[in-house]
C-alpha cells in the first residue's frame, strides 16, 4: 500500500488522506481541506519548492551526487566542462559530444568590447569584483536580445554556452580592473580553468603557462561548486526564472544571492576569521567566544549537512596538492586546530556543526594568490552550470510563477489622518 498521511481539520472534523510521494506531501492537496490556512515556513526550512532530477543530497549521511554520480568520483576523474555538460544534459558526454561542447564553450569566451570598455571600466576604481560581476551578467541581457526567446531550444542552448563561457572572462576582467591591470583576452588554446588563470595572471609573457597542478586544483574546485540543489542562489535563479525573465537577468539575481556572507561570501569570512585569530594559541579562546555567542565559526555548519560536508573532505586533499606548489598557507595550522577542537566540543557536535565547503577553499584560493574579494566570484563561475541546469529544468516543467503567501501580522484597517493633523 502506498504511504500516506491523514489530516483532520478540528474545526470541522473533516479528514483528508494525502499520499507521500518521493518523501513529500502535496500542499495543493492540503489546501483542498483547509483553503486559506497556509504553511508557515520562513526560509523554506521544511518546504520542497520543486521536483528536481539534477542533484541528490543526503545531509545526514554526507552524500552528494550530480545526476546520480558521486561527487568523489566526478572530482577524481572528470573535468568541470564535462560536469557542466552532465548537469545540463543529464548524461555524461560521449567523446564526440564532449569535443563539440568544449569547442563551443571555448569559442564563446570573448565578451563584447563594450562590456569591458564602456561598462566594466565605468566602475569606481575600488569596486568589489563581485558587485561588478553581478552587474555585468545582468548587462549581458542587453547585448543578446535573442535571450528573451527562452522557449526556443536553439536560443536557449546558445545563451547557456555564452554564460558558461563568458563567466571566467567577466570574472578575470573585474579583477584586472580592480587592481589597475590591463584586460587579458581569452587564450582559446588553453582549457577552461587554465584559460581563466591566464586571464587573471598574465603580464608581459607572450603566452601564460599555468602550473598544471594549480589548474587541475581549480578545475576540481569548480566541479565541487558546480551545483548544490536548492540553495539560496539557485532558489533565486528559479524564482526569477519563473517570471520568464531572460537567463542573464535570472543569473544576475543568483549571483547577487551568492554575494552574501552566509552563502558564497563565507570563505572570505573564513580567511578574515583565521587572520584575526592569528595564532594556534588563540584558538581555544576564540572557540569559547563563539560558544558564548560572539559570532560564528565561519566555514562551519550547513542548513542541510548534518555531518562532514563531502566537498570539504575532497578540498582538504586538494589543498595539500596546491601547497606543494605554493608553499603551505600559514593559516592552515590555525584552521586544522580549529577543526580539531570544534569536532571534539559538545557545543558543535550536539548541533551537528562540521566543516563545510568553504572552510578550506579560501585557504587554497589565498595560496594561489586570489584576493579575498575574488572568492565569491570564484564560486559564481562554476555555479553558473548548476543555475542554468535548474533554470532549464524549471522551464521544462511548465512551472507557475513563484509566489508564496504570507501570514499578515500588521494593523487592522484604520482611517487615514491628514499630515497636518498627525
Ligand atoms: N558557529 C557557531 N554556531 C553555529 C554555527 C557556526 N558556524 N552555525 C550554526 N550555529 C549554531 C546556531 O547558533 C544555532 O545554535 P542554537 O540552536 O543554540 O541557537 C544552531 O547552531 C543552528 O543554527 P542555525 O542558524 O539555525 O542554522 P542554519 O541552518 O539556519 O544556518 C548556516 C546554516 C550555514 C547559515 C550557519 O551554519 C552559518 O552561519 N555558518 C557560518 C557561515 C558559513 O560557513 N556559511 C557557508 C555555508 S556552505 C556554502 C554554501 O552553501 O553557500
Nearest residue to 150 via CA among 159, 140, 163, 138: 159
Please report, in angstroms and rounded to a whole number, the separation of the first and last CA atoms in the chain: 65
Residue whose Cα lies nearest atom 32 of ligand 1: it is 302
* CA gap 362, 253 in Å, rounded: 23
Q: Does residue 138's CB lie within 6 angstroms of at least one atom of ligand 1?
A: no
Nearest residue to 376 via CA among 262, 291, 228: 262
10-residue mean pLDDT profile of the chain (422 residues): values are: 89 93 90 89 93 95 96 97 98 98 97 89 92 96 95 97 98 94 95 98 94 97 97 98 98 96 87 95 95 92 87 90 93 93 94 90 94 95 98 94 95 97 96
Residue whose Cα lies nearest atom 15 of ligand 1: it is 351
Residue 94 CA, ligand 1 centroid: distance in Å: 41
Rg for the chain, CA atoms, rounded = 24
Residue 241 CA, ligand 1 centroid: distance in Å: 28
Residues 20, 4 contacting (CB under 8 angstroms): yes
* CA gap 419, 340 in Å, rounded: 62
| CATH 1.10.580.10-classified regions of the chain | 104-259
* CA gap 54, 393 in Å, rounded: 9
Residues 145, 247 contacting (CB under 8 angstroms): no
Q: Does residue 291's CB lie within 6 angstroms of at least one atom of ligand 1?
A: no
Residues 268, 375 contacting (CB under 8 angstroms): yes
Nearest residue to 402 via CA among 50, 121, 38, 5: 50
Q: Does residue 296's CB lie within 6 angstroms of at least one atom of ligand 1?
A: yes
Residues 55, 227 contacting (CB under 8 angstroms): yes
Q: Does residue 302's CB lie within 6 angstroms of at least one atom of ligand 1?
A: yes
Nearest residue to 390 via CA among 166, 209, 230, 277: 230
pLDDT at 1: 63
- Of 42, 277, 301, 356, the one to substitute when testing ligand 1's pocket (max ligand atoms within 8 A of C-beta) is 301
* CA gap 149, 147 in Å, rounded: 5
Nearest residue to 211 via CA among 203, 201, 222: 201
Q: Which residues contact 388 (CB under 8 A, 6 or more apart)?
A: 88, 160, 163, 164, 247, 251
User: Which contiguous run of DSSP H or E holds residue 9?
Assistant: strand 4-9
Q: Does residue 357's CB lie within 6 angstroms of at least one atom of ligand 1?
A: yes
Summary count for the chain: helices (H), strands (E): 18, 6
pLDDT at 303: 84
Topology (CATH) of 266-367 = Cytochrome p450-Terp; domain 2 (1.10.230)
How far is C-alpha 267 from the geometric centre of its chain's CA atoms?
12
| CATH 1.10.230.10-classified regions of the chain | 266-367
* CA gap 141, 247 in Å, rounded: 8
Residues 201, 369 contacting (CB under 8 angstroms): yes
Residues 177, 127 contacting (CB under 8 angstroms): yes
pLDDT at 357: 86
pLDDT at 309: 87
- The count of other CB atoms within 10 Å of the CB of residue 161 is 19
Residue 348 CA, ligand 1 centroid: distance in Å: 10
Looking at 175, 227, 358, 390, which residue is catalytic? 358
- The count of other CB atoms within 10 Å of the CB of residue 375 is 25
Alpha helices in 225-357 (DSSP H): 232-241, 247-258, 266-277, 283-291, 310-326, 332-343, 346-350
This prediction has a pTM of: 0.93
* CA gap 236, 241 in Å, rounded: 8
Q: Does residue 263's CB lie within 6 angstroms of at least one atom of ligand 1?
A: yes
Nearest residue to 49 via CA among 41, 60, 61, 37: 41
Per-residue pLDDT reduced to its tens digit, 137-189:
999 999 999 999 999 999 999 999 999 999 999 999 999 998 999 999 999 99
- Residue 18 main-chain phi, psi, to 5 deg: -125, 125
CATH superfamily of 104-259: Citrate Synthase, domain 1 (1.10.580.10)
Looking at 227, 302, 309, 390, which residue is catalytic? 302
Per-residue pLDDT reduced to its tens digit, 258-301:
999 888 888 889 999 999 999 999 999 999 999 999 989 999 99
302 included as an active-site residue: yes
Looking at 89, 112, 128, 263, which residue is catalytic? 263
358 included as an active-site residue: yes
Question: In b/e form, how buried is each residue of 107-135, taking b as 16+ CB within 10 angstroms?
Answer: ebbebeeebbeebbeebeeebbbbbbbbb
SS3 63: strand
Q: Does residue 353's CB lie within 6 angstroms of at least one atom of ligand 1?
A: yes
Sort 98 into a burial class: Cβ within 10 Å, 0-12 / 13-18 / 19+: middle
Pairing of strands 63-66, 55-58: antiparallel
- The count of other CB atoms within 10 Å of the CB of residue 294 is 9
Amino acid at each position: 500500500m502506498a504511504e500516506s498521511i491523514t489530516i483532520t481539520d478540528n474545526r470541522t472534523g473533516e479528514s483528508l488522506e494525502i499520499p507521500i510521494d518521493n518523501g513529500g506531501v502535496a500542499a495543493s492537496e492540503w489546501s483542498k481541506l483547509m483553503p486559506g490556512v497556509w504553511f508557515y515556513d520562513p526560509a523554506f526550512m521544511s518546504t520542497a519548492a520543486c521536483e528536481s532530477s539534477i542533484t541528490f543530497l543526503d545531509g545526514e549521511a554526507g552524500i552528494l551526487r550530480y545526476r546520480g554520480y558521486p561527487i568523489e568520483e566526478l572530482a577524481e576523474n572528470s573535468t568541470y566542462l564535462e560536469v557542466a555538460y552532465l548537469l545540463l544534459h543529464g548524461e555524461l558526454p560521449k567523446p564526440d559530444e564532449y569535443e563539440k561542447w568544449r569547442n563551443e564553450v571555448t569559442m564563446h569566451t570573448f565578451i563584447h568590447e563594450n562590456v569591458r570598455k564602456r561598462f566594466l571600466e565605468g566602475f569606481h576604481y575600488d569596486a568589489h569584483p563581485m558587485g561588478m560581476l553581478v552587474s555585468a551578467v545582468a548587462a549581458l541581457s542587453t547585448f543578446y536580445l535573442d535571450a528573451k526567446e527562452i522557449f526556443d531550444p536553439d536560443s536557449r542552448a546558445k545563451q547557456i554556452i555564452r554564460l558558461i563561457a563568458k563567466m571566467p572572462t567577466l570574472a578575470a576582467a573585474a579583477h584586472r580592473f580592480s587592481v589597475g591591470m590591463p584586460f587579458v583576452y581569452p587564450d582559446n588554446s588553453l582549457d577552461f580553468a587554465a584559460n581563466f588563470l591566464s586571464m587573471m595572471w598574465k603580464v608581459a609573457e607572450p603566452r601564460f603557462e599555468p602550473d598544471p597542478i594549480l589548474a587541475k586544483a581549480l578545475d576540481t574546485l569548480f566541479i565541487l561548486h558546480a551545483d548544490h540543489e536548492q540553495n539560496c542562489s539557485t532558489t533565486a535563479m528559479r524564482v526569477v526564472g519563473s517570471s520568464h525573465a531572460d537567463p542573464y537577468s535570472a543569473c544576475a539575481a543568483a549571483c547577487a544571492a551568492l554575494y552574501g556572507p552566509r552563502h558564497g561570501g563565507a570563505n572570505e569570512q573564513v580567511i578574515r576569521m583565521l587572520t584575526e585569530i592569528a595564532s594556534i594559541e588563540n584558538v581555544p579562546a576564540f572557540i569559547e567566544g563563539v560558544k558564548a555567542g560572539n559570532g560564528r565559526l565561519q566555514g562551519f555548519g550547513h542548513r542541510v549537512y548534518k555531518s562532514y560536508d563531502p566537498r570539504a573532505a575532497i578540498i582538504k586533499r586538494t589543498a595539500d596538492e596546491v601547497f606543494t606548489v605554493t608553499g603551505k598557507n600559514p593559516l592552515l595550522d590555525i584552521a586544522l586546530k580549529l577543526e580539531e577542537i570544534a569536532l571534539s566540543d559538545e557545543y558543535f557536535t550536539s548541533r551537528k556543526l562540521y566543516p563545510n565547503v568553504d572552510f578550506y577553499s579560501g585557504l587554497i584560493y589565498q595560496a594561489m594568490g586570489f584576493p579575498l574579494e575574488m572568492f565569491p566570484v570564484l564560486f559564481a563561475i562554476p555555479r553558473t552550470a548548476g543555475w542554468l541546469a535548474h533554470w532549464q529544468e524549471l522551464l521544462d516543467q511548465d512551472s507557475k510563477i513563484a509566489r508564496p503567501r504570507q501570514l499578515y501580522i500588521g494593523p487592522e484597517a484604520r482611517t487615514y489622518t491628514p499630515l497636518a493633523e498627525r
